[in-house]
Chains A and B, each alone.
Chain A
Amino acid sequence: MKYVLMFADRVEDQKMWEKMPQDQMHAAYEQINKWFDEHSRSGKIVGGEELRGPSSSTTVRFKNGKPIVTDGPYIEAKEIVGGFAIVDVKDLDEALAMAKTWPGGGEGRIVEVRPVVER
Chain B
Amino acid sequence: MAARAGSSKCGPWSSARTPDKTQGATDAAVAAVFREEAGRLTAALVRVLGDFDLAEEVVQDSLVVALEKWPEQGIPDNPGAWLMTTARRRAIDILRRDKRYREKLALLERSPMAPEPAEADDRLRLIFTCCHPALSQEVQVALTLRAVAGFTTAEIASAFLLTETTVAQRIVRAKRKIVDAHIPYRMPDETDLAGRLDGVLSVLYLMFNEGYLSRGTQVAMRRDLADDALWLTRLVAKLMPDQPEVLGLLALMTLNLARSRARFDGAGEMVLLPDQDRTLWDGAAISEGIQLLERAGAMRATGPYQVQGAIAALHSEARSWDETDWHQIVVLYETLMRIADSPVVRLNRAVALSHFAGPEIALGEVNDLAISLEGYHLFHAARADLLDRAGEPALAHEARLRALELCQNPAERSLLQRKLSDQSGP
Chain A interface residues toward B at CB < 8 A? 1, 90-93, 96-97, 113, 115
Contact = CB atoms under 8 A, between A and B. Distances in A.
Tell me what chain A mostly uses at the interface: helix, strand, loop, or mixed: mixed
B189 A93 contact: yes
Tell me what chain B mostly uses at the interface: helix, strand, loop, or mixed: loop
Contact of B184 (A91, A113, A115): A91
B180 interface: yes
Contacts, number: 25
A92 B184 contact: yes
Interface of B: 132, 134, 180-184, 186, 188-189, 191-192
A93 B178 CA distance: 12
B192 A92 contact: no
Contacts of A92: 132, 134, 181-184
14 contacts: A1-B182, A91-B182, A91-B184, A92-B132, A92-B182, A92-B183, A93-B184, A93-B186, A93-B189, A93-B192, A97-B189, A113-B181, A115-B180, A115-B181
Contacts of A97: 189, 191-192
A59 to B, nearest CB: 28
Point out which of A1, A96, A97, A113 has the most chain B C-beta atoms below 10 A from its C-beta. A96
B183 A91 contact: yes
Contacts of B191: 97
Point out which of A90, A91, A93, A96 has the most chain B C-beta atoms below 10 A from its C-beta. A93
Contacts of B183: 91-93
A3 to B, nearest CB: 8
A1 B179 CA distance: 11
Contacts of A91: 182-184
Contacts of A93: 183-184, 186, 188-189, 192
The 7 closest A-B pairs by CB, nearest first: A91-B184, A1-B182, A91-B182, A92-B183, A92-B181, A115-B181, A92-B182
A91 B181 CA distance: 8
A106 B132 CA distance: 27
A87 B134 CA distance: 18
A92 B177 CA distance: 11
Contact of A90 (B132, B180, B181, B184): B184
Contact of A115 (B182, B186, B188, B192): B182
A115 B182 CA distance: 8
B210 to A, nearest CB: 28
Nearest to A94: B184
A97 B191 CA distance: 9
A93 B199 CA distance: 15
